[in-house]
Amino acid sequence: MHRSLSMNIQSRFLSHQMQTLVATRVVTDPCDVFINHRCLDTKTTLAAPIYDHLHRHGFHPFLDSKTMKPGDKLFDKINTAIVECKVGLAVISPRYCESYFCLHELALLMECRKKVIPIFVDIKPSQLRVINNTKWSLEDQRRFKLAIEEAKYTVGLTFSSSKGDFSGIVTSASDIIIESLIVLEDEEVQMQHSYLPIS
């Protein structure tokens, strides 16, 4: 009896250690793509379906509502994901420029020189404007305006929610992201080979 209780406790302890190790591994894996979006506008219609599509294909996308856990520090988790990601997807909707978080994430993606693929949803790039919000520092406003200007002049996808095919845009965006990840991976491998010593 004593031996089986001891074995049971040991087994549970080892199981807990393995679960902790697996959980730590999952949490520390850098994401392949950071999905930047305005929650109220596009989370359920575009951001979450793109996340799910990429996840089903074996990629590690970052979407705040699916990746973050209670107790996570917003800026720590988001900033780390942006710095470590390979590609950014910016789902830009009409009220996107009103969100501090959206603009902060976009600015950081641009500052980190990540490849950013914009989807302009119900808005033309020329219509994008950063509002003057007195709650935001002048430095943040400057960063946000630079990021929006860069996004305006980045080739992206356009989508009209009133007459568009949601599954079509999800597939198109996912295919472009996957193709971009493959190209980046190939470039990384080529760079590694170019630095190998010649025997």
| Residues that are catalytic | 105
Residue with tokens 């990629």: 59
Q: Give CA separation, 105 vs 3, 18, 168, in Å.
A: 55, 34, 26
DSSP per residue, 34-63 = EEEE-HHHHIIIIIHHHHHHHHHTT--EE-
119 forms beta bridges with 91, 157
Please tell me whether residue 111 adopts helix, strand or coil conformation: helix
- Distance between CA atoms of residues 87 and 70, nearest Å: 25
Q: Give CA separation, 58 vs 47, 82, 91, in Å.
A: 17, 19, 21
Closest by CA position to 32, among listed 55, 9, 10: 55
| Structure token pair of residue 82 | 């942006």
Phi, psi of 37 (to 5 degrees): -160, 165
